Structure 1
């Protein structure tokens, strides 16, 4: 027997796209940092001054490839979680809430550290683009969390529909 199609509430659909957009923005920023090869080479050289240029290049290349794999996996995971949440899966909503709350807390922490001047005192460089990304993703994820819980009936309805189709 086929499952009845229940329309996705607008708030849930917006929340799904906020999650995917936030993950995409974070991935684009991360990938752009990966392609700043000069900075990566300089940092590798600073951390391991005894290594030759071939070793540094190999390490940086491997790090870039690994970083790209992580970025794609991260975006895929967030997209799958957001889609599962949109289909009414409460477990996905909980996972997104935990990940989102941690991300929002970290984003707020970064912004407070920068604007309080603590980052400058500690010698931590925070670029304006990094702050903008932190602000945007923090706002997107906070909004996505709120929207998920504004439409809680979607998850109760979905559980009832799913349980009706489980074999006895």
Structure 2
């Protein structure tokens, strides 16, 4: 017989961190989708990389790439949502995974911003559209904030789910 389990709601800062992770994943997915649905750029890039291919082959490759990209973006969004919810329930392993992913995201975002601001990116022919720049700033701030909030409430991860003692154990 299964024992009823009760949980306490997460502290406010943990709940905010959960929604920051989900928002960051959503912004990242929106940026990715904007790039993914720029079909003209995808076709021209495919043509530049494979000039010997016919238009039908390029179209098929771009269509397959878009479909695969949508699948990957959905998997990543669902994974972030599940990790954020597990973290909010007090799972320390989820906090660690989110910290590693978030730290990598913050480092990459800062690298992109520094490269853009210093002109190094332009020297290598890399351009950042204003929407891409804005999304980088937003996701970097969201991820850094979520990491800080998770560690401000470390006590939440030392508590575990409590078992209601009014029911007999089997």
Q: Which residue of 2 aligns with 1:66?
A: 68
Q: Which residue of 1 aligns with 2:120?
A: 118
**Partners of 1:158 and 1:129 in 2: CA distance:** 42
1:150 aligns with 2:159: no
The structural deviation recorded for 1:2 is 1.5
Q: 2:9 aligns with which of 7, 10, 23?
A: 7
Q: Which residue of 1 aligns with 2:38?
A: 36
Q: 1:46-85, aligned counterparts within 5 Å? A: 46-85=48-87
The structural deviation recorded for 1:4 is 2.4
Pairwise CA RMSD of aligned residues? 1.5
The structural deviation recorded for 1:5 is 2.3
User: Which one has a larger percent helix, Structure 1 or Structure 2?
Assistant: 1
How many residues are aligned here?
A: 163
**Partners of 1:64 and 1:5 in 2: CA distance:** 41
| Deviation string, structure 1 residues 69-93 (Cα, Å, up to 9, x no partner) | 0010010000000000000000000
Q: Which residue of 1 aligns with 2:132?
A: 130
Moved over 2 A (4+): none
Q: Which residue of 1 aligns with 2:101?
A: 99
The structural deviation recorded for 1:154 is 0.6
The structural deviation recorded for 1:23 is 0.2
TM-score of the aligned structures, taking structure 2 as reference length = 0.92
The structural deviation recorded for 1:138 is 0.2
**Partners of 1:136 and 1:149 in 2: CA distance:** 20
TM-score of the aligned structures, taking structure 1 as reference length = 0.93
The structural deviation recorded for 1:49 is 0.1
Structure 2 runs not aligned, ≥5 long: none
Q: Which residue of 1 aligns with 2:25?
A: 23
Structure 1 runs not aligned, ≥5 long: none
**Larger RCO (alpha carbons 8 Å, 6+ apart):** 2
